[in-house]
Amino acid sequence: MSQKGGDAMKLLKLLENVNYDLVQGSLELEITDIKYNSNEVEKGDIFVAMTGAVVDSHKFIPDAIGRGAVAIVMESDVPVEVGPTVIKVKSSRNALAHLSASYWGNPAKELITIGITGTCGKTSTAYMMKAMLEESGKKVGLIGSIEAVIDKKTYAVKNTTPESYEIHKFFRKMVEEQCDIAIMEVSSQGLKLDRVAGIEYDYGIFTNLSRDHIGDREHKDFEEYTQCKAKLFSQSKKGIVNADDPHCEKVTKDAKCTLVRFGMESPDLDVKVSNLHNISEANFLGTEFDVSGKINARFRISIPGTFSIFNALCALVVCDELGVDVKSMQSALEKVQVKGRMQVVSTNEKYKVIIDFAHNERECECLKETIESYNPKRVVCVIGSGGERSVDRRYASGKMASELAGLTIFTADNPRFEDIDNIMKDLVDGLNQAGGGEYVVINDREQAIRYAIENAQQGDYILLIGKGHETYQEIKGVKYPFDESEIVKAIEKEHLGTKMQGE
């Protein structure tokens, strides 16, 4: 471990940015590590007990002490046996964020930090930005919903925005690997649950806002969802915002930082996009567009869709702020692909194959608008819906297929423990309720993809919807390896020998 973080530390030093009351014990203890899962506690650790939506970990305090915890942080009044030091705080999650930053040596202060929030586009924007920065010679770390990437090494993540301890651990790793810049997706839950508390971002980014993540375990209503997104701009030095989004003013009204506004139609834009032109060639599918204002150049992007242009515009503004030259931006955008986000995995004279993670109403609408803008001869949708999830989503998927596809192939997504035939029935019902359409049902997803490719007609756009970046399929509690891009390559190699875009 670096001496700048991850080493044993005096409790008093660890608490330097935390507001707390000492209930019992000494602050001169040597703390080995921080844990918020009692099962992971080892001798010399501090255990942070938190109140969650499902589990209140205060009930595991005795277990943590039994495993060797020498200090406890709590937000509820829970009796604790004599022995360990007990610290009372107003919010354990907020305390965990500050404790973690101190433990890892405040690595965020050694990096240029970029936080991206919004309902859609966070992942695509992050990867576009990463590609442009690396093209210009910068060393970049990324934390997002697909993975964390540090110097081309990838690490698994459990949430779009991980718990604060993991964030600062990743930041420290970035510093050790001599990264210049840290890019991270900042979800509304990450802001609500104080996972990014105490981080002052050099750049805070807003992509867009629509109704999503409203429910018992997420946000009680759209107002709270909006307020959580807005928190990013109270802890950023500069904001980069999509002024065309109808919620932009509400998200930024209390911003404590300078704002750079980008868009297509709003007045007083600092950076404006215009003259969009779709490109569909044998070996390329994407869009060209002009940018004016703080940046003046024409760009070409290998990801279809107007929403991709807005994501690119956002990334361009940040890269311009960081001194990236226009040629590096142009070169990176023309070849960038984001796994599972309008990912063009095959393009040839006969058909295109596109993978997209669309799984909510807004994302499905964006996908539909994008594909229709290219005037395809026929759209083939390979689509399913997750088991043990909302039936309304299945009807929505069936509805979209009815409106968009000339042929729909209903198939498995992640059925989990649910009977796949029940899922297929709901999808077909959704299609029929929306007006019907030609369809087949092929429960095995790999065989469904094979059917689409082997029966492709001239001019087909084949959409593989819902799995996106996932590399597994969950069936009856088991996650089986399943990477759609690799499956497409294997099928084409076996039957067609078609060259993939980007190869």
Instruction: Please tell me the predicted confidence (pLDDT) of residue 224.
Output: 83
**Which pLDDT score, from 0 to 100, does residue 283 have?**
87
Domains of the chain by range and CATH? 9-103 (3.40.1390.10), 107-335 (3.40.1190.10), 343-495 (3.90.190.20)
Confidence band for 497, pLDDT divided at 50, 70 and 90 = low
- 3-state SS of 40-68 is HCCCCCEEECCECCCCEHHHHHHHHHHCC
**Which of 60-69, 95-104, 219-228, 484-493 comes out lowest in average pLDDT?**
219-228
Helix, strand, coil shares, percent, the chain, to 5: 35, 25, 40
C-alpha–C-alpha distance, residues 493 and 48, integer Å: 52
CA distance 82 to 24: 8
* Helix, coil or strand: residue 31: strand
Number of H helices, E strands in the chain: 15, 26
Residue 274 CA to residue 332 CA, distance in Å, equals 20
Virtual torsion, Cα 203, 204, 207, 211, nearest 10 deg = 170
Contacts of 455 (CB under 8 A, 6+ apart): none
Query: Among the ranges 113-122, 317-326, 386-395, which has the highest mean pLDDT value?
Result: 317-326
397 pLDDT higher than 50: yes
What is the average per-residue pLDDT within 344-368?
87
User: CA–CA separation, 252 vs 342, rounded Å?
Assistant: 29
Q: Above 90 in pLDDT, residue 228?
A: no
Average pLDDT of the residues of the chain? 92
CA 394 – CA 427 distance, rounded (Å): 5
Confidence of residue 359 (pLDDT cuts 50, 70, 90): confident
- Residue 246 CB contacts under 8 Å (≥ 6 apart), including other chains: none
* Strand, coil or helix: 215: coil
CA 449/CA 334 separation, integer angstroms: 27
pLDDT of amino acid 176 = 97
Cα–Cα separations (whole angstroms), residue 137 to 130, 298, 333, 490, 497: 11, 22, 15, 34, 35
Is the predicted pLDDT of residue 332 greater than 50, yes or no?
yes
Q: Distance between CA 333 and CA 282 in Å, rounded?
A: 19
pLDDT digits (tens, 9 = 90+) for 20-40: 999 999 999 999 999 999 999
For the cut 90, the answer to whether the pLDDT of residue 476 exceeds it is yes
Quick one: pLDDT at residue 82?
A: 85
Please check the confidence at residue 502 and state whether its pLDDT lies above 50. no
Is 8:32 a contact under the CB 8 Å cutoff?
yes
pLDDT surpassing 80 at residue 294: yes
pTM of the model: 0.87
pLDDT of residue 500: 46
pLDDT at 63: 96
Q: Percent of the chain having pLDDT more than 70?
A: 95
How far CA 131 is from CA of 68, 96, 334, in Å, comes to 45, 32, 10
Phi and psi at residue 243, in whole multiples of 5°? -70, -20
pLDDT, position 218 = 56
CB of 339 closer than 8 Å to CB of 352? no
Average pLDDT over residues 244-257: 93
Flag whether pLDDT at 79 surpasses 70.
Answer: yes
Q: Which residue has the tokens 């300078």?
A: 258
